[in-house]
A = this chain, B = another copy of it.
């Protein structure tokens, strides 16, 4: 594995890590669909192949965007959760959503609706809400227990 950086540019360096067709969708599913396990992610609407999913989870863990753990009483299922570094991607995902809604809809007519006005007018509040909601949903794992 091991990420390779092409050069010293922050934008290209970010793309070296998350500039593929799957990483941000895995993070989206964590944030908005409460997905946590390998099987959870492999049942996304876009059907990622299991070998690609495996390699992406490894890379995201390596760069500490996600962490891998177990829950008590289940020795089998791995639980993948977002770290602070991963949560910090929420604003990126928010801007991509706004851009897509406003600029790509014409090319992909089946695209679902987004409450863009709320997102645009209360951006920080929405972002904070997503973050807090996520932390709450994994709270029993990391929040007040350890």
Which residues on A are within 8 Å of B, measured CB to CB? 3, 5-17, 19-21, 24-25, 28, 45-46, 63, 85, 88-89, 91-105, 107-108, 110-112, 114
Contacts and interface: CB of A to CB of B under 8 A. Distances in A.
Contact of A11 (B17, B25, B103, B107): B25
Contacts of A98: 91
A112 B108 CA distance: 37
Chain A to chain B: the 5 pairs with minimum beta-carbon distance, closest first: A14-B100, A10-B100, A5-B108, A92-B95, A8-B110
Given A8-B111, A111-B8, A14 B46 contact: no
A16 to B, nearest CB: 7
A112 B45 contact: no
A8 B94 CA distance: 17
A100 B21 contact: no
A29 to B, nearest CB: 10
Nearest to A83: B103
A28 B9 CA distance: 10
A21 to B, nearest CB: 5
B9 A112 contact: yes
Contacts of A101: 10
Given A110-B8, A112-B8, A112-B10, A20 B17 contact: no
B14 A96 contact: yes
